[in-house]
């Protein structure tokens, strides 16, 4: 964990502070607090129904927690609309792929550039001068993401026609096209074969190392989680039962009892 | 046989018509459009103009329904706003149409956005009902519009139908042909451009996956309103052109029947496609014309049928639409794509 070896702990980029969320009688999250540090890979693990996706939904503004605060770079996110949170530099992928199915890969990634562009209806319809130049500049950025993720040969394909593994990769690409400061990934490797998983893990590490993007990663594959993350938060029944480096978490008695014991249920 | 197309720059790769067969087809269409009016009689010119206006309205509605995924049965009402705005400006203020038509388009866009506002929170059937309410409110205002100085119908002074001093009166069908087709071509270019750039993409994103759209930074409220406004802008254009072309307008031209007809055009032609809207407008305008010609010929053979003709005609119209939807639910644009795919590989297709 950052700060172990006497180096002062950097300021947290995101502070999740006593977040509580219920749906009617169902308590999805209660009193969740932990920090996410800049440039790290922060894993969130826990059995199905533990509240991991709900927590990401609170961060991206899709759910509104009844208690607590989520401060991102000093700003409380709770109460902001999802598109406002996106503008602050938070991007994400979804557990069940949520791409724009009828559009091509390039168009999906260009949508990732939405917050960085200005063009409106009139400049788009005229497609002339500054409006056209803007499209081309951002297309160049998108091409860099396409190269990074090695999806050159499918760039003009309609997303709905791609395999599951490729769709997951395109969804990561759309989030990367946003050039985010915080990237939330909800089970990016679920349902993949081992080769696809390896590729995905490599991309996540590349993004983390080369672009210093902070990553919050929900993942079931314990091998991958322990390999690539800096810190791990463990949720169970909506509560944070452990937090620390992968080694600390692995040794935590509650985790061994609660999570590793239920590993079959988690899959 | 067509192989892959390679582009040396993103700007050419992002072009609207990157393949030369498409360019060729467009040139062919333009040549036909330029030659047609010199040979066509009044009957065919009138049909072409009707199709042109319907196509502008259908493309406009497709922005909202086909591209943004927001159902609307209010397009007829918005056409009425355009027709009456331009008509009143011409009749009362004597403004020439090249001033009154653009004003009418902008006014209709604003009215569309206003009616869109409550609709932004609604989806599916509820949205359909809200747009139906917009349609009925607009027609109610027009039929109770003594305040606006509207009687049963409104006549436009012929001298207001001029472009920068150039009069369109006289051989009206021929002159309006050029104006209407010019507007249609500009509409096609504008809307095609819109959907290959940021704002248009955001609208399609809302249609495909509105939650993901928000999370990548698309403001749903803003873009749904923009879709309503842009869609209504073209409804206004179609309505205003109708007013000046016909020289006389009444609200009966813009009832819910018109709204449903325009909706049927884009469903039959192809949702979310500019060319689909044009095919649909052509089909839905030509089919009744064809049916009435056929039935007129048939009434010569079976004179006793003549009193039932209107019903047979309407029934055949409905039947044609139903059959169409059963056999090609993705519209004419899909059929055309199948034909193209067949010929792309020709003569090796089988
Ligand atoms: N929109 C919702 N409405 C009602 N209950 C929900 C909703 N979203 C999540 N929940 C409930 O919250 C709990 C946590 O779910 P979730 O966050 O999806 O878990 P995880 O991602 O860890 O598998 C579950 O009991 C789930 O049923
Ligand atoms: Mg989940």
Residue range B93-150, pLDDT digits in tens = 999 999 999 999 999 999 999 999 987 788 888 999 999 999 999 999 988 876 667 7
pLDDT at B97: 93
The answer to whether the CB atoms of B10 and A136 lie below 8 A apart is yes
With contact defined as beta carbons under 8 Å apart, do B108 and B232 qualify? Answer: yes
pLDDT reading at B88 higher than 50:
yes
SS3 B71: coil
CATH of B40-345, one of 1.10.600, 1.10.3470, 1.20.140, 1.10.540: 1.10.3470
Asked if pLDDT for residue B257 goes beyond 80, the answer is yes
Q: β-strand A14-23 against A26-36: which pairing, if any?
A: antiparallel
Spatial neighbors of A260 by CB under 8 A, at least 6 apart, are: A222
**Mutation probe of ligand 1 site: the residue of A24, A30, A45, A49 with most atoms within 8 A of C-beta:** A49
Query: Residue B200, Cβ neighbours under 10 Å: how many?
Result: 26
Among chain B residues, CA nearest to A86: B217
What is the pLDDT tens value at each position of chain A, 267 positions in all? 444 555 566 789 999 999 999 999 899 999 999 999 999 999 999 999 999 999 999 999 999 999 999 999 999 999 999 999 999 999 999 999 999 999 999 999 999 999 999 999 999 999 999 999 999 999 999 999 999 999 999 999 999 999 999 999 999 999 999 999 999 999 999 989 999 999 999 999 999 999 999 999 999 888 889 999 999 999 999 999 999 999 999 888 888 877 655 554 444
For residue A128 and ligand 1, the question of a CB distance below 6 A is answered with no
User: What does the block give as tokens for A261?
Assistant: 């014991």
Chain A, 214 to 253: residues with Cβ < 8 Å from chain B are none
**Parallel/antiparallel/unpaired status of strands B153-155 and B162-163:** unpaired
Burial class of residue B54 in the structure, from the number of CB atoms within 10 Å of its CB (0-12 exposed, 13-18 middle, 19+ buried): buried
CB atoms within 10 A of CB B228: 29
What are the two backbone dihedrals, phi and then psi, of residue A29, each rounded to the nearest 5 degrees?
A: -140, 135
Predicted local confidence at residue B314, as pLDDT: 80
B105-142 residues labelled b (16+ CB within 10 A) or e (exposed): bebbbebbbebbeebbebeeeebbebbbbbbeebbebb
Distance A64 CA to ligand 1 centre (A): 13
List strands edge to edge, sheet with A75-76: A26-36, A14-23, A67-72, A75-76
Q: Are B57 and B184 in contact (CB under 8 A)?
A: no
Q: Does B146 touch chain A (CB under 8 A)?
A: no
Report which of A45, A35, A27 is spatially closest to residue A11, judged by C-alpha positions. A35
Dist. CA A184 → ligand 2 center (Å) = 12
Residue B35, preceding peptide bond in cis (omega within 30° of 0): no
Determine if ligand 1 sits within 6 Å of the CB of residue A54: yes
The CA distances from residue B160 to A188, B91, B99, in Å, are 63, 8, 10
Distances (CA, A) of A187 to A3, A40, A81, A184: 28, 17, 24, 10
Q: Would you state the pLDDT for residue B1?
A: 38
Beta carbon pairs, A and B, within 8 Å: 117
Asked whether A241 and A255 are in contact (CB, 8 A), the reply is yes
Average pLDDT over residues B61-67: 97
Nearest-10 crossing angle of helices B220-246, B172-194:
170
Residue B273 banded pLDDT, cuts 50, 70, 90: very high
Look at residue B323 and tell me whether its pLDDT is greater than 80: yes
By the 8 A CB rule, do B216 and A115 touch? yes
CB count, 10 Å around CB of A136? 13
Q: Which of residues 215-244 of B touch A (CB under 8 A)?
A: 215-220, 226, 229-230
- Judged by CB atoms within 8 Å, which residues 156-175 of B form the interface with A? none
Place of tokens 């498409």: B22
| Residue-level pLDDT at B38 | 95
Residues of A in contact with B201 (CB under 8 A): 103, 107, 110-111, 114
State how beta strands B166-167 and B162-163 pair.
antiparallel
pLDDT of residue A16: 97
- CA dihedral (B327, B330, B331, B334) in degrees, to 10, reads -100
Residue B147, pLDDT score: 64
Which residue pairs, CB below 8 angstroms and at least 24 apart, start in A138-141? A138/A110, A138/A113, A139/A106, A139/A110, A139/B10, A139/B14, A140/B10, A141/A113, A141/A177, A141/A179
CB contact (8 A) between residue B194 and residue A124: yes
Task: State the distance from the centre of ligand 1 to the C-alpha of B189, rounded, in angstroms.
Answer: 46
pLDDT at res. B224? 96
**A114 and B226: CB-CB below 8 Å?**
no
* Of the listed ranges B9-18, B68-77, B112-121, B208-217, the one predicted with least confidence: B9-18
Averaged pLDDT for residues B196-202? 97
The shortest CB-CB distance from B217 to any of A114, A126, A131 is to A114
Count CB neighbours of A129 within 10 A.
9
For the record, the structure tokens of A6 come out as 């006497």
Q: Could B191 and A125 be called an inter-chain contact, meaning their C-beta atoms sit closer than 8 Å?
A: yes
Mutation test of the interface with chain A: which of B14, B192, B212, choosing the one with the most A Cβ atoms within 10 A?
B212
- Cβ contact, residue pair B209, A99, below 8 Å: yes
Q: What are phi and psi of A93, to 5 degrees?
A: -120, 165
CA–CA min distance B208, chain A (Å): 5
Tell me, yes or no, if A160 comes closer than 8 A to chain B by beta carbon: no
In sequence order, what E strands does B272-321 have? none
A148 touches chain B (CB under 8 A): no
How many CB atoms are closer than 10 A to CB A248? 14
> Does B212 contact A94 at a Cβ distance shorter than 8 Å?
yes
Q: What is the structure's pLDDT at B350? A: 44
The first and second tokens of residue A11, run together, are: 């300021």
Mean pLDDT of B173-184: 96
Q: Which domains does chain A have, with CATH numbers?
A: 13-89+180-267 (3.40.50.300), 99-179 (no CATH)
* Residue A156 CA neighbour count, 13 Å, CB half: 9
Q: Which of B197, B218, B219 sits opposite A124 (nearest CB)?
A: B197
Query: Which pairing describes strands A182-186 and B166-167: parallel, antiparallel, or unpaired?
Result: unpaired
A139–chain B nearest CA distance, Å: 7
Contact B217 A81 (CB under 8 A): no
Nearest CB to A127; choose among B193, B201, B204: B193
- Looking at the predicted structure, is the pLDDT value of residue B76 above 50? yes
Enter the tokens of residue B316: 């055949």
- Identify whether the C-beta of residue B245 lies closer than 8 Å to the C-beta of residue B169: no
pLDDT for B345 equals 59
Q: What is the pLDDT of residues B1-55, one digit of tens each?
A: 344 455 667 776 776 655 677 788 889 999 999 999 999 999 999 999 999 999 9
Q: Identify which of B58, B69, B109 has the alpha carbon closest to the alpha carbon of residue B218.
A: B69
Ligand 1 pocket, A183 CB below 6 A?
Answer: no
Q: Quick one: which atom of ligand 1 is closest to the CA of A218?
A: 21
B6 in contact with chain A, both atoms CB, cutoff 8 A: no
User: Is the shortest distance between the CB of A51 and ligand 1 below 6 Å?
Assistant: yes
- DSSP state, A158? B
Domain residues of chain B, as ranges?
Answer: 40-345
Does the structure show a pLDDT above 60 at B285? yes
Helices and strands, counts by H and E, chain B: 14, 4
The β-bridge partners of A218 are A44, A186
- Between positions 177 and 196 of A, the ones with CB within 8 A of B are 178
Q: Around Cβ B149, how many Cβ atoms within 10 Å?
A: 10
CB of A261 less than 8 A from some CB of B: no
Which among B52, B199, B335, B209 has a CA at the least distance from the CA of A101? B209
Confidence band (pLDDT; 50, 70, 90) for B162?
Answer: confident
């Amino acid at each position: 964990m950052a700060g172990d070896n006497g180096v002062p702990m950097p300021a947290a980029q995101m502070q999740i502070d006593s977040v509580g969320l219920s749906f009617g009688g169902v308590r999805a999250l209660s009193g969740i607090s932990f920090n996410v540090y800049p440039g790290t890979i922060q894993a969130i693990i826990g059995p199905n129904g533990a509240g991991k996706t709900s927590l990401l939904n609170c961060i991206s503004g899709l759910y509104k927690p009844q208690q607590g605060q989520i401060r991102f770079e000093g700003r409380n996110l709770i109460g902001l609309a999802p598109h406002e949170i996106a503008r602050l530099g938070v991007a994400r992928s979804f557990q069940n792929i949520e791409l724009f199915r009828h559009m091509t890969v390039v168009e999906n990634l260009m949508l990732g550039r939405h917050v960085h562009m200005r063009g409106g209806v009139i400049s788009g319809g005229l497609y002339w001068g500054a409006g056209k130049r803007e499209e081309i500049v951002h297309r160049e950025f998108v091409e860099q993401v396409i190269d990074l993720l090695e999806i050159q040969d499918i760039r003009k394909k309609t997303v709905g026609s791609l395999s599951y593994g490729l769709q997951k990769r395109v969804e990561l690409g759309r989030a990367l096209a946003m050039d985010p400061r915080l990237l939330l990934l909800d089970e990016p490797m679920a349902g993949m074969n081992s080769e696809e998983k390896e590729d995905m893990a490599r991309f996540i590490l590349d993004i983390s190392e080369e672009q210093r993007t902070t990553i919050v990663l929900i993942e079931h594959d314990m091998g991958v989680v322990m390999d690539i993350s800096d810190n791990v938060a463990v949720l169970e029944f909506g509560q944070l039962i452990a937090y620390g480096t992968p080694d600390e978490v692995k040794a935590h008695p509650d985790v061994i009892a609660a999570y590793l014991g239920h590993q079959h249920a988690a899959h | 046989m067509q192989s892959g197309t390679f582009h040396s720059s993103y700007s050419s790769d992002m072009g609207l018509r990157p393949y030369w067969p498409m360019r060729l087809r467009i040139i062919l269409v333009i040549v036909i459009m330029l030659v047609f009016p010199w040979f066509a009689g009044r009957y065919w010119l009138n049909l072409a103009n009707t199709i042109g206006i319907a196509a502008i309205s259908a493309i406009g509605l497709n922005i909202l329904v086909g591209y943004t995924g927001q159902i609307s049965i209010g397009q007829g009402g918005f056409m009425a706003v355009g027709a009456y705005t331009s008509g009143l400006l011409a009749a009362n203020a004597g403004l020439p149409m090249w001033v009154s038509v653009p004003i009418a388009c902008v006014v209709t866009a604003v009215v569309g956005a206003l009616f869109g506002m409550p609709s932004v929170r609604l989806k599916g059937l509820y949205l359909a009902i809200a747009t139906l309410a917009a349609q009925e409110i607009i027609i109610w205002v027009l039929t109770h519009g003594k305040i606006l100085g509207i009687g049963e119908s409104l006549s436009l002074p012929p001298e207001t139908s001029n472009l920068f001093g150039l009069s369109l009166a006289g051989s009206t069908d021929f002159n309006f042909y050029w104006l209407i087709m010019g507007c249609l071509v500009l509409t096609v270019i504008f809307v095609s451009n819109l959907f290959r750039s940021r704002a248009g993409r955001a609208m399609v994103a809302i249609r495909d996956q509105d939650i993901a759209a928000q999370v990548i930074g698309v403001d749903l409220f803003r873009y749904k309103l923009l879709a309503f406004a842009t869609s209504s802008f073209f409804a206004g254009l179609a309505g205003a052109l109708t007013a000046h072309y016909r020289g006389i307008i009444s609200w009966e031209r813009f009832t819910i029947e018109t709204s449903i007809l325009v909706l049927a055009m884009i469903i039959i032609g192809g949702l979310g496609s500019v060319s689909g809207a044009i095919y649909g407008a052509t089909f839905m305008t030509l089919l009744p014309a064809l049916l009435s010609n056929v039935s007129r010929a048939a009434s010569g053979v079976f004179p006793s049928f003549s009193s039932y003709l209107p019903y047979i005609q309407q029934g055949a119209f409905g039947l044609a639409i139903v059959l169409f939807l059963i056999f090609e639910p993705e519209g004419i644009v899909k059929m055309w794509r199948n034909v193209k795919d067949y010929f792309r590989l020709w003569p090796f297709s089988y």
